[in-house]
Chain A
Amino acid sequence: MTEKLLINALENEAIYIFREVAAQFEKPVLLFSGGKDSITLVRLAQKAFYPAKIPFPLMHIDTGHNFPETIEFRDKLVAELGLELIVRNVQDSIDQGKVKEESGRYSSRNVLQTTTLLDAIEEFKFDACIGGARRDEEKARAKERIFSVRDDFGQWDEKNQRPELFDMLNGQIQLGQNVRVFPISNWTELDVWTYIENEDLEIPSIYFAHKRDIFMRDGLIWSASEHVFKDDEEEVEERMVRFRTVGDMSCTAAVDSYAATIREVVAEIRDSSISERGARIDDKRSEAAMEKRKQQGYF
């Protein structure tokens, strides 16, 4: 038996939040994208409930434009840990005529995800959706609560949020409302990477430097793929890159990198002069892009 438990404040806070979710809600779900933040969440949830299993399913809203490496990774993780996974597809929402595929140069399915997500919440009657958003990612996210109440339409009323005092979390809601829960709100990107390194967590290969066909647009490195619109003038070249976030292929830009191990990735993040979201094409749309998407129910 080890003597005294040494604690990591952020990890302990996250475990506390997971336990509050399990105790206060009837049908929670963990929104799983296959990215580093949701992988971290799964690890924290395991720790929160050991030796019992994680008492809620994972759900992936699949845009159909994900990196294949992420999907492979997702399925492997779920199988290894014996977790329940629900997948809902943006393609279905398109086929049902609920949303319309964007077209042209900056087209992406990123915004369309919201409809699929809200439909799935209604289908399963989820009352709490756990996500890996962090306050340091973006300045509208810096305003988020840990328990963030959404109305029937999934909307975020950013100017009228419940006060959160000390560590008391109020999960009481009306019928039709649900709560978005952010257990790693107070983590920075570097905290997440350091955690992944310390816990020796497996992550999708696209987080490490690899050779990829890319093209340049607006100073960002785009993946050359059938899912990404490309002009004929935009020239494809092969380059050593990696990804700092794994969103949709159409809205996630790569960064130049030779970081092949987790240790090198951590070192790179520590010295980086660009923020994580600096490589998110969806945020470049406007200064208020994230706030607008959040109001409409986006994660």
Chain B
Amino acid sequence: MEVLKIATAGSVDDGKSTLIGRLLYDTKSLTDDKLEAIEHSSKKKGYDYLDFSLATDGLVAEREQGITIDVAHIYFSTKTRSYIIADTPGHVEYTRNMVTGASTSQVAIILIDARRGVIEQTYRHFFINNLLRIKSVIVAVNKMDLVNFSEERYNEIKADFEKLVEKSDYEDQNITYIPVSALKGDNVVDKSDAMPWFGGQTLLEYLEKLDTVNIYNRGKMRFPVQYVIRPKTEEFHDFRGYAGKVYGGDINVGDEVVVLPSETRTKVKEIYFNDKKYQSAARRSSISITLENNVNVSRGDMIVKAKELPRIEKAFTATVSWMDGRPLLPGSKYTLQHGVNKVIAKVSAINHKIHPDFSGVENDVSSLNMNDIASVSFQLNKPIFFDAFKEHRTNGSFILIDQQTNNTAGVGFIE
């Protein structure tokens, strides 16, 4: 079955976890024992309603503080499709976890508390969703029950958000507005009786109908080699299979390809998935292939079609989202992981910091701290084979690994 991945966003207490709990409840995805646990905990906390956030806030510290700290992945399915929702934290301090949740998602739901309207965190989250090129964004104006389900208030918030959208340079983005009450269930799965003035779809109706096929610009076929399979058995004595995942377009037997970095030309001889051979494989398939000529290929190399070469360069500029407690400094070195390929990268310059509220940039920056977003130039010890992020989601992104702590310290989107 088709899987749709969704990330939530919004400030602390806007109701993300509650909304997800409500989706689970109204689609009958909560089993009796889980529901009982929620009833029990809600009662213990003295609430006279069911606190659905308890369905997703899985850590003790989260339940104690009533906030989400780390991303939780929640699963449910309808007759139409399966859903994976990333419940991300709203707290500024945990913005990096929000970036993480959004990076693997196809759709974003940005929540706004109807009482507070569009606030700085809304700007920030919308900005991050743009940076990650999330094509479908749902703006859920939540807690409508606390503003008497007022159409006027909803329109005000919608107008404010539309002003934000005008500042965005991502023109293909689809934005949908829905007034909801996560707590009461209005317009989540079922239409709200309290808001007859709203003629649009409920959240679930919208998700069910979303076209998942054309969510991303496809980009060119890229086949990064993950692992070389050499069985050395009698039957497969000379077998050399190049295992990897296909990105972008299709790969076919007979395709003229180039192996990077050696730039050797050859043809695809066989495509295997498990013990079966295929004529063709599409993006996202984890296959292994053999080549016509006996060329030297190892992990980190990339196989591309002869007429579709990527950029092969040792220096580039990227937008970086910094996620580590140790600041990024000009001149410092990191392990740069681009797909499955690792090189050493030196920060040649921090060009400018980008304000995530669309208000412009700040020049003369000497370091990047956790949650900062900036334009950074890098110098590599050897070339990598990439596309701009806008043209290729996977081949245009990389992570930076701190060489001392081994932590994933930042993520970059190549310009």
A124 cross-chain contacts in B, Cβ below 8 A: none
Contacts A9-B284, A139-B56, A165-B397 given; does A3 touch B61 at CB 8 Å: no
In the complex, A197 Cα to B73 Cα: how many Å?
A: 25
In the complex, A19 Cα to B277 Cα: how many Å?
A: 19
Q: Which residue of A lies closest to B337 (CB)?
A: A168
Contacts A167-B394, A172-B406, A275-B31 given; does A287 touch B73 at CB 8 Å: no
The answer, yes or no, to whether B323 is at the interface (CB within 8 Å) is yes
- Residue of B37, B73, B398, B401 near A186 (CB, 8 A) is B73
Interface with B: A48-56, A65-73, A98-106, which one? A48-56
B244 → chain A, closest Cβ, in Å? Answer: 8
Q: Which residue of B lies closest to A191 (CB)?
A: B82
Q: Judging by beta carbons under 8 Å apart, are A23 and B299 in contact?
A: yes
The answer, yes or no, to whether A96 is at the interface (CB within 8 Å) is no
The answer, yes or no, to whether B399 is at the interface (CB within 8 Å) is yes
The answer, yes or no, to whether B3 is at the interface (CB within 8 Å) is yes
B 63-87 contacts with A by CB, 8 A: 63, 69-75, 77, 82, 84
A186 cross-chain contacts in B, Cβ below 8 A: 73, 75, 84
- Residue of A1, A4, A167, A274 near B282 (CB, 8 A) is A4
Interface of A is mostly: loop
A277 cross-chain contacts in B, Cβ below 8 A: 33
In the complex, A44 Cα to B63 Cα: how many Å?
A: 36
- Residue of A53, A143, A188 near B58 (CB, 8 A) is A143
Q: Which residue of B lies closest to A170 (CB)?
A: B408
Q: Judging by beta carbons under 8 Å apart, are A172 and B401 in contact?
A: yes
A52 cross-chain contacts in B, Cβ below 8 A: 229-233, 236
In the complex, A172 Cα to B337 Cα: how many Å?
A: 11
B 13-34 contacts with A by CB, 8 A: 31-34
The answer, yes or no, to whether B41 is at the interface (CB within 8 Å) is yes
Q: Which residue of B lies closest to A171 (CB)?
A: B406
Q: Judging by beta carbons under 8 Å apart, are A164 and B408 in contact?
A: yes
The answer, yes or no, to whether B381 is at the interface (CB within 8 Å) is no
Count of inter-chain pairs, beta carbons less than 8 A: 183
B394 cross-chain contacts in A, Cβ below 8 A: 166-167
Q: Judging by beta carbons under 8 Å apart, are B3 and A143 in contact?
A: no
Q: Which bracket fits the contact residues of B?
A: 35 or more
Q: Judging by beta carbons under 8 Å apart, are A174 and B406 in contact?
A: yes
B271 cross-chain contacts in A, Cβ below 8 A: 5
Q: Which residue of B lies closest to A163 (CB)?
A: B100
In the complex, A212 Cα to B226 Cα: how many Å?
A: 48
In the complex, A190 Cα to B34 Cα: how many Å?
A: 17
Contacts A9-B284, A16-B226, A165-B397 given; does A274 touch B32 at CB 8 Å: yes
Interface with B: A111-119, A154-162, A222-230, which one? A154-162
- Residue of B100, B227, B406 near A19 (CB, 8 A) is B227
Q: Judging by beta carbons under 8 Å apart, are B299 and A163 in contact?
A: no
The answer, yes or no, to whether B285 is at the interface (CB within 8 Å) is yes
Most B Cβ at <10 Å: residue of A2, A12, A50, A138: A50
Most A Cβ at <10 Å: residue of B3, B33, B56, B104: B33
B409 → chain A, closest Cβ, in Å? Answer: 9
Most B Cβ at <10 Å: residue of A23, A143, A164: A143
Known: A19-B243, A166-B393, A275-B34. 8 other contacts (CB 8 A): A16-B286, A46-B274, A51-B275, A143-B58, A163-B411, A165-B397, A172-B401, A174-B406
